[in-house]
Copies of this chain bind each other. A is one copy, B any other.
Amino acid sequence: MGISRRLFITRVGQLGGYSAAFTMMQSLGLLPIAESAAQTPMPSNGKGTTVLILGGGIAGLVSAYELRKLGYQPILLEARSRVGGRNWTIRNGTEVEFTDGTKQHCEFDPGHYFNAGPARLPSIHKNMLGYCRALGVPLEVEINSSRSALMQSDKLNGGKAVEQRRVVYDSRGHVSELLAKCVDKHYLDQDMTSDDRERMLSFLKQYGDLTPDYKFKSTERAGYTVYPGAGTVTGQPHDPFPMHELLSAELWEGMLVEDNVDWQATMFQPIGGMDQIPKAFEKSLGSIIRHNADVQDIDQSDTGVHVAYRDTRTGKSEKVSADYCICAMPLTVLAKTQNNFSPEVKAAIADSKYDSAYKVAWESPRFWETDFNIYGGLSYLRQTVGIVWYPSWGLFSPRGVVISGYSIENGTPFGALPTPAAKLDASRRAVELLHPGYGDQLTKPVYISWGHIPYNLGSWISESGRKDSPDYATLLKPDGRVYFAGDHTSHIVGWQEGAAVSAIRAVNMIGTQVGQGAKNA
């Protein structure tokens, strides 16, 4: 990657950015191909084997689903009255309570929602798409990129927001012109044959939309000041922004978001909210799930795993035992349990650092559609709030929910804002900067900060706490009869797909163990 992912995610704040190929794990000497094969559940006879699953996020739900399929008897403990974990859709009536006791009550119009956690399903995330198919969760296109969306920097266009298409195609035009100049002047003759030289010039002319003499004058790709029309109305392209201005504006991170492999079209979202996925798992799993079961103590012996939990409705302590355990709780929450994990595992859990991502959502008339031709997609700013994300659902309807602000709070200017009110102000200001005169149309704000959400205490494991650390390797191994799952045991952190493959991996490891036990007996 050309830029640090942490920088990337901090600046443009995309939920779930860690799909990078972490190379440190190769030093463990395990063959990637064998592991890859292991992610497809293998036939296994789990009959009679009980497995406790701690945590009803995607990793826990997939674990239960796959174990049941293989004949195991899974029992899933979930602290909340709902499953899904970070997969959480906020709609009318949702209570948002922070760890400090602060409460928000969502009053959106019926049918309106936003996904507080994951909000996108890339089509290359085959396991998640597969579960949506299997569970009958209907999907619709999530528009992750719209060329009519806006970009704003105080250093570009006098601070006035511009359509993304101008930044994208003006930049490419300048790059192409500069390279064509070097090729034309024979600066790169050592790098290419004379045939390729001609082909390269021809390509750059198309790539950058250059004139026949390889100049970048303007491009209709960047849109028009006058759109082509009937009769004598010819299209009037914009004058390009000078490269100097584009370089100063530094809008690159936002511009390049769509190029990340996990953010490339085609992307999806479940119709009606991302929580349709956990709801479908919940319906399928039925009594396997025990809600309101707040895990307090994890104690394993040579013969089984014994978990004590508090029933959050009655306040009573309950106990449950099983042959094996898949622990799919956030490490931040797991760290607060009593347990008899090995010192190595305890340390790995305690060492883990989590980021705290936030989102601020507002209900509003869809001025971005009616007055700006923006249908879905994201606008980017070089401001305290750097992202405005338009809904892909309910297009063309009168009102919708727009997210203004989505990034990491820890160590960022947004996180440093002193009060929730100041954060809402920054959020509204971003919309006002992009859409002058419309900021005051925003109503019914909901502010989610994952670091302050009970039973999450963070959005995802920090890359900085993970890279070059032996803790990751530690949590890949079972601790006795306890197997760890969750996106933090995958290389697709912050994505549901990471949780899914980590669960399949844990199930397969138990399968191998059970198979070995059977053989040994």
Contacts and interface: CB of A to CB of B under 8 A. Distances in A.
A179 B2 CA distance: 15
Interface size of A as a range: 35 or more
A432 to B, nearest CB: 23
A373 B234 CA distance: 40
Interface in A97-150: 123-124, 126, 132-133, 138-141, 143, 145-148
A475 B113 CA distance: 51
A169 B248 CA distance: 24
Q: How many copies does the complex hold?
A: 2
A20 interface: yes
A317 interface: no
A268 B421 CA distance: 38
Contacts of A248: 199
A210 interface: yes
Given A252-B206, A253-B206, A21 B228 contact: yes
A485 to B, nearest CB: 8
Given A2-B209, A123-B373, A193-B244, 9 more contacts: A2-B211, A21-B220, A141-B392, A147-B265, A192-B243, A220-B261, A228-B491, A230-B504, A266-B374
A234 B266 CA distance: 23
A208 interface: yes
Given A231-B489, A395-B139, A32 B203 contact: no
Given A182-B182, A243-B196, A30 B489 contact: no
Those 10 A-B pairs whose CB atoms lie nearest each other, nearest first: A21-B235, A228-B491, A147-B264, A230-B505, A199-B247, A230-B501, A141-B141, A230-B490, A230-B502, A266-B375
A492 interface: yes
A500 to B, nearest CB: 9
Interface in A23-40: 23, 25-26, 28, 30, 32-33, 35-36, 38-39
Interface string A176-209: 1011011101011001110010011001111111
Interface in A288-327: none
Nearest to A264: B147
A259 B221 contact: yes
22 contacts: A2-B211, A19-B235, A21-B220, A22-B228, A25-B231, A26-B234, A30-B231, A32-B232, A35-B229, A39-B233, A123-B375, A138-B396, A141-B376, A143-B265, A181-B188, A221-B259, A224-B261, A229-B501, A230-B505, A231-B490, A232-B476, A266-B377
A237 interface: yes
A340 interface: no
Interface in A245-272: 247-248, 250, 252-253, 256, 259-261, 264-266, 268
B165 A264 contact: yes
A518 interface: no
A207 B1 CA distance: 10
B178 A146 contact: no
A447 B233 CA distance: 35
Q: Pick from A175, A265, A490 the residue with the most CB of B within 10 Å.
A: A265
Nearest to A1: B209
